[in-house]
Chain A
């Protein structure tokens, strides 16, 4: 623990350097902005800024990109509560009670409680990371290729089946992502794979082009002329409205605590990010409530718990990403990709080899969350005004930023063509009800999965059973099997015809 304190102090000395402070501020500011703007995704926002970080120090770059990831959570809540727009999945459930509160004129209270939940949830998530991440990394030190391989398999499987949408389609998207990750020169033999004679593909598919196609352009194609008109009749409030009454605070205290715990639990299970955490937290709150009929009509508990859970979960999501190199969702996959681009090998050694990065990041979480409170509470009026920017002005501007951002990644317009291609393809996937997020997970992990699989097979002399003979990897494989079995079980139960209420129900 003592070393932990020293490390943390070191982290603050990194994060408080003026330029890092500036990057952190830009990150949380931009994150909050995309969170507020309806119809803008955090994935595309991080992707647009990623190429612009190539010129700066890796630590500053990661602080900034991470700041966007958690900053967007603050903005997203404003959008849900005041406008009833579930445009940011983790906050979709907040609409249920947040908007009724707004209609009753208590939108400010809801936002105030949200801020309190956010601070508490984030603080808990960060503490959890400080305590657990170094331990997890230390355990993972002893992992060989087989264990890493099995762990990645578990992470990919959880990431693709636990998120929304059909599990089978999720797995398919993950495999497709793994295949995309193999495009380019094979590290072992130098052979070019799946480049189809195109020189620009030698280095593989550009991460930014993939993610901006799938989450940027595909999203525009879906939303153009198809957005709900913004109803801003109730979205008027000032700073003083944000202070919740004592009674409300009392009502929200335990929901915030429960939500935080649920969020931190969800963050430890790979694949269950803030979205699932918020839904579980809402459901639990409704279950334990003495008057569940109030939910959906403006129960403050229904805002407090999910919001606290998303914040603790977003912070906690960094744990597997930074300590194991296994991202839990697409946002973390993108950050992992950013680490790789900046020449940092993710995995258990990251904390030891790049203490500046790890502890600086944790320190910046504290600073960034503090900045977000100061950004949101006094400036709430400005953010509310930004909510009114119509989508028809937003997406053409965003398209330009996407084009130029992709160009900046490698200074080639070829990647813009690739982006457009993935955009159209991504829209096709959306129409066929595929969720594109697992593609990114597979894409980022693809090369490392193949490398470790090859090595594990070489070490075991081609014995595929090495994965179940080594105890730690056997645990991961067992978890994989359990996960699949649970999915199949749920599925079979669901497809059974609903039992009609039989006449002999009195038995």
Chain B
């Protein structure tokens, strides 16, 4: 079976998991009763509902008509995914340790390399441009609390 056919099973499982976590964690807080609800009542109830919907979605998945393939397929694109994730992490790390300028440059450069059409040179140029205007705008105009160079 392909991913498309199993999609609703995964979707249902995800909801059961999320609802389960919410209900179990929620039930650790004081429940109270309807007249005087404790902090655990609402989240536990919501968690159970969420898990219930998950069961329904997974349970009815088999009866659903074949999905029409008109919707655009989502192709896995590991290069893009990894670059975007690393770019965001790089911003967090560099902005924290060495400052806004390296953080911005690193973030934009790595993200731009995630696109297969961008060359090293284009990515570097784009990163330099965004760094220049970004620093100008956020440091000098908006006084953001990340040092231009240096750790926070």
Residues of A within 8 A of B (CB): 52, 168-169, 171-172, 175-176, 178-179, 182, 186, 188-189, 191, 193-194, 217, 220-222, 224-226, 390-393, 395-397, 399-400, 403-404, 407-408, 411, 413, 416-417, 419-420, 423-424, 428, 430-434, 450, 453-454, 457-458, 461-464, 495
Residue of B nearest to A430 (CB): B74
Apart from A169-B57, A403-B107, A450-B42: 4 A-B pairs, beta carbons within 8 A: A399-B107, A420-B92, A457-B35, A457-B37
Q: Which of B37-63 contact A (CB under 8 A)?
A: 37-39, 42-43, 46-47, 49-50, 53-54, 56-57, 63
Q: Please name all residues of chain B whose beta carbon is closer than 8 Å to the beta carbon of A428 when the two chains form the complex.
A: 14
Task: Looking at the assembled complex, report how far the CB atom of A215 sits from the nearest CB atom of chain B, in whole angstroms.
Answer: 14
Q: Please name all residues of chain A whose beta carbon is closer than 8 Å to the beta carbon of B130 when the two chains form the complex.
A: 396-397, 400
Task: Looking at the assembled complex, report how far the CB atom of A209 sits from the nearest CB atom of chain B, in whole angstroms.
Answer: 12
Q: Which of B102-152 contact A (CB under 8 A)?
A: 103-104, 107-109, 111-112, 114-118, 123, 126-127, 130, 134, 138, 142, 144-146, 152
Are B84's CB and A221's CB within 8 A? yes
Task: Looking at the assembled complex, report how far the CB atom of B136 sits from the nearest CB atom of chain A, in whole angstroms.
Answer: 13
**Assembled-state Cα–Cα distance A368/B64 (Å):** 47
Are A407's CB and B11's CB within 8 A? no
- 18 CB contacts below 8 A, A to B, read A52-B142, A168-B57, A172-B15, A182-B42, A191-B39, A193-B39, A224-B81, A224-B84, A225-B114, A226-B77, A396-B123, A396-B127, A397-B126, A400-B134, A432-B7, A433-B7, A457-B35, A462-B36
Q: Please name all residues of chain A whose beta carbon is closer than 8 Å to the beta carbon of B103 when the two chains form the complex.
A: 403
Residue of B nearest to A432 (CB): B11
Are A179's CB and B146's CB within 8 A? no
Are A400's CB and B92's CB within 8 A? no
**Assembled-state Cα–Cα distance A423/B77 (Å):** 15
Are B144's CB and A408's CB within 8 A? yes
Are A420's CB and B88's CB within 8 A? yes
**Assembled-state Cα–Cα distance A128/B91 (Å):** 46
Are B95's CB and A396's CB within 8 A? no
Type the 1/0 row for B59-103, where 1 means its CB is closer than 8 Å to any CB of A. 000011100000000110101110111011101100110000001
Q: Please name all residues of chain B whose beta carbon is closer than 8 Å to the beta carbon of A225 when the two chains form the complex.
A: 77, 79-80, 114-116
Are B115's CB and A392's CB within 8 A? yes
Are B85's CB and A176's CB within 8 A? no
Task: Looking at the assembled complex, report how far the CB atom of B38 sits from the nearest CB atom of chain A, in whole angstroms.
Answer: 7
Are A188's CB and B111's CB within 8 A? no
Are B39's CB and A400's CB within 8 A? no
Residue of A nearest to B38 (CB): A189
**Assembled-state Cα–Cα distance A432/B11 (Å):** 6
**Assembled-state Cα–Cα distance A417/B89 (Å):** 7
Q: Which of B5-41 contact A (CB under 8 A)?
A: 7-8, 10-11, 14-15, 18-19, 22, 25-26, 29-30, 33-39
Q: Please name all residues of chain A whose beta carbon is closer than 8 Å to the beta carbon of B63 when the two chains form the complex.
A: 495
Are B50's CB and A413's CB within 8 A? no
**Assembled-state Cα–Cα distance A448/B144 (Å):** 32
A-B CB pair tally, cutoff 8 Å: 177
Q: Please name all residues of chain A whose beta carbon is closer than 8 Å to the beta carbon of B11 when the two chains form the complex.
A: 169, 432-434
Secondary structure of the A contact surface, majority rule: helix
Task: Looking at the assembled complex, report how far the CB atom of A230 sits from the nearest CB atom of chain B, in whole angstroms.
Answer: 12
Given contacts A193-B43, A224-B77, A453-B42, contact A396 B53 (CB under 8 A): no
3 closest A-B pairs by CB: A224-B80, A462-B34, A462-B35
**A416: contacting residue among B49, B91, B152, CB under 8 A:** B91
**Assembled-state Cα–Cα distance A322/B91 (Å):** 37
**A175: contacting residue among B7, B8, B46, B75, CB under 8 A:** B46
Q: Please name all residues of chain B whose beta carbon is closer than 8 Å to the beta carbon of A222 when the two chains form the complex.
A: 74
Task: Looking at the assembled complex, report how far the CB atom of A423 sits from the nearest CB atom of chain B, in whole angstroms.
Answer: 7
**B111: contacting residue among A395, A411, A419, A462, CB under 8 A:** A395
**B104: contacting residue among A52, A400, A434, CB under 8 A:** A400
Residue of A nearest to B81 (CB): A221
Are B87's CB and A396's CB within 8 A? yes
Are B47's CB and A224's CB within 8 A? no
Task: Looking at the assembled complex, report how far the CB atom of B17 sits from the nearest CB atom of chain A, in whole angstroms.
Answer: 11
Task: Looking at the assembled complex, report how far the CB atom of A305 sits from the nearest CB atom of chain B, in whole angstroms.
Answer: 24
Q: Please name all residues of chain A whose beta carbon is closer than 8 Å to the beta carbon of B18 when the two chains form the complex.
A: 176, 179
Are A186's CB and B39's CB within 8 A? yes
Are A194's CB and B43's CB within 8 A? yes
Q: Please name all residues of chain A whose beta carbon is closer than 8 Å to the beta carbon of B87 when the two chains form the complex.
A: 396, 399
Are A176's CB and B29's CB within 8 A? no
Are B108's CB and A397's CB within 8 A? yes
Task: Looking at the assembled complex, report how far the CB atom of B91 sits from the nearest CB atom of chain A, in whole angstroms.
Answer: 4
Q: Please name all residues of chain B whose beta carbon is closer than 8 Å to the beta carbon of A172 when the two chains form the complex.
A: 15, 50, 53-54, 57
Task: Looking at the assembled complex, report how far the CB atom of B112 sits from the nearest CB atom of chain A, in whole angstroms.
Answer: 4
